Structure 1
């Protein structure tokens, strides 16, 4: 782990995710569907700090978000997997910085997270009507916001890590 967990403000920024999830600002939604705030925060964290830190951040964020919702579905496995995968991508080859790449990774992450919900609901026999449309809308709005939000966080966190050296 490179050390983002040593910066209190960086770790504290994770608390914005449940706040935005609960507030669900209408002006940042697509036909009433909000972006996946967990994906928008976890993607730059994992890219900057690596697979182990990404997996732990996904675990912590998943526990925090699962604590907000009463139900039988969880975000935990998908967020841990995404944190680990994105962390590995951040460690291999050239750094991911382009807007299109961040948008694509965020869309894939949102689809994986939403798909895990759909699978769990299918298993429980309570599949919501229009689930695929909601999944597509969330992936689209997440992908559209990712270049702005993820690039700002990624630049900030990489700067913090390079300053620490």
Structure 2
């Protein structure tokens, strides 16, 4: 069922996520906080390619992002869960086409990723004083960018997977 994984250039677009994290473009920051690039890439991927591919894509993204930052805190479980959940929504629910729906899903996804990171930092006693500010700013910015960026990705990737109900 995973049609996008057969398209090598589609899989290669996942490499944009660590590049954007490292480049950290200042034009797309809110109060010095960038959006969650992983959520913005994973949401349309999982909606089009399904739960299994979404979970594996979340694992791959999490591994790449964890390799960038050497630490004890990981995003892997949240990204796997989101990839699976969004993939199920794309397969079982009504087609996600509205910009508001994409923004809401991105908001929920970024809040989940941020909350898991926050809980891990709290558990390890590494919680910084700006952690809540970062969580709120990243969640809001990702939700605002999702309707534009995810809509474009959905259109592009749905053309690559004709006949799929996504």
Q: TM-score by structure 2 length?
A: 0.96
Q: Quick one: distance in 2 between partners of 1:94 and 1:159?
A: 18
Cα deviation, residue 66, structure 1: 0.6
Show the counterpart of 2:42: 42
Question: What does 1:62-101 align with in structure 2 at a 5 Å threshold?
Answer: 62-101=62-101
Q: Quick one: distance in 2 between partners of 1:152 and 1:59?
A: 23
Is 1:161 aligned to residue 158 of structure 2?
no
The secondary structure found in structure 2 opposite 1:67 is helix
**Can you give the 5+ residue segments of structure 2 that lack an aligned partner in the other structure?**
none
Cα deviation, residue 41, structure 1: 0.1
Q: Quick one: distance in 2 between partners of 1:61 and 1:34?
A: 17
Instruction: Assess if the C-alpha contact under 8 Å between 1:54 and 1:84 holds in 2.
Output: yes
Show the counterpart of 1:30: 30
Q: Quick one: distance in 1 between partners of 2:56 and 2:138?
A: 24
Instruction: Assess if the C-alpha contact under 8 Å between 1:42 and 1:83 holds in 2.
Output: yes
Give CA deviations for 1:30-50 in whole Å, capped at 9, x if unaligned. Answer: 010000000000000000011
Is 1:140 aligned to residue 140 of structure 2?
yes
Instruction: Assess if the C-alpha contact under 8 Å between 1:2 and 1:161 holds in 2.
Output: no
Give CA deviations for 1:65-120 in whole Å, capped at 9, x if unaligned. Answer: 11111110011000000000000011123210100000000011000000010000
Number of aligned pairs? 164
Q: Quick one: distance in 1 between partners of 2:110 and 2:94?
A: 23
Q: Quick one: distance in 1 between partners of 2:150 and 2:16?
A: 14
> Which stretches of structure 1, 4 residues or more, deviate above 3 A after TM superposition?
none
Q: Quick one: distance in 1 between partners of 2:163 and 2:124?
A: 48
Cα deviation, residue 163, structure 1: 7.0
**Can you give the 5+ residue segments of structure 1 that lack an aligned partner in the other structure?**
none
Q: TM-score by structure 1 length?
A: 0.97
Cα deviation, residue 2, structure 1: 2.8
Instruction: Assess if the C-alpha contact under 8 Å between 1:24 and 1:34 holds in 2.
Output: yes
